[in-house]
């Protein structure tokens, strides 16, 4: 039986990303909200965060430059260290990967209007995290997940991200290169086109 005019749901595709693990030594004090019949009150609680970070590879640009990103549920932006970034946060403790925009034929800087532009006309961004700060320019290019020797993965064309020219020292001790925010568009995003989760 065929139902005329019925829409067919797109087939689901599972993309697998090989994750790596880093245990973070520092503990974090967390705040909890205590609810009662009256107004909620904020109470300091001696919780200890176990400090586990999971990160994996993504491929960027026409050449498929591979960097590792932490999968962050508390942000909505993709942040990628630029090849030109020399701050300690970008370099870390050793062999960190950086994205070279000159090596990609498909990428472009992006103006605050969303139009493609050159470096001088690029939208300058600064993002703060609980554990640090990044600054750089808006850039757009191809971003691929789950690609490897036995899988083509899935890609988002003209995805916008922050190409970081500065990362604070807070990021120096981490093994990952960049940050992939998993939150949808909203108050945690620099704009709808910056949230890969909001793209169709």
Judge contact between 141 and 60, C-beta under 8 A: yes
| CA–CA dist 176, 136 (Å, integer) | 18
- Long-range contact pairs involving 93-97 (C-beta distance under 8 Å, separation at least 24): 93/172, 93/173, 96/177, 97/65, 97/66, 97/67, 97/68, 97/177
pLDDT tens per residue, range 121-143 = 999 999 988 878 999 999 999 99
More confident residue, 37 or 107: 107
- Among 11-15, 77-81, 112-116, 188-192, the least confident range: 11-15
Q: What is the pLDDT of residue 104?
A: 96
pLDDT tens per residue, range 175-187 = 899 999 888 777 6
Full-model pTM: 0.74
Nearest to 82 by CA among 58, 60, 105, 63: 60
Q: Cα Rg for the chain, rounded, in angstroms?
A: 19
> How many C-beta neighbours within 10 Å does residue 174 have?
21
């Amino acid at each position: 039986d065929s139902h005329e005019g019925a829409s067919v749901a797109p087939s689901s595709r599972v993309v697998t990303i090989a994750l790596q693990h880093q245990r973070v030594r520092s503990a974090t004090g967390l705040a909890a909200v205590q609810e009662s019949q009256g107004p909620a009150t904020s109470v300091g609680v001696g919780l200890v965060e176990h400090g586990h970070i999971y990160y994996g590879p993504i491929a960027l640009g026409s050449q498929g430059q591979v960097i590792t990103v932490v999968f962050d549920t508390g942000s909505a932006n993709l942040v990628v260290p630029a090849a030109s970034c020399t701050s300690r946060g970008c370099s870390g403790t050793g062999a960190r990967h950086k994205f070279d925009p000159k090596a990609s034929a498909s990428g472009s800087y992006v103006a605050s209007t969303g139009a493609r532009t050159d470096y001088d006309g690029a939208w300058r961004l600064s993002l703060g995290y609980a554990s640090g700060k990044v600054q750089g320019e808006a850039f757009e290019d191809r971003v691929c997940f789950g690609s490897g020797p036995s899988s083509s993965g899935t890609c988002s064309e003209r995805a916008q991200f922050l190409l970081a020219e500065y990362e604070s020292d807070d990021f120096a001790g981490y093994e990952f290169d960049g940050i992939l925010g998993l939150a949808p568009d909203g108050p945690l995003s620099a704009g709808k086109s910056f949230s890969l989760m909001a793209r169709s």
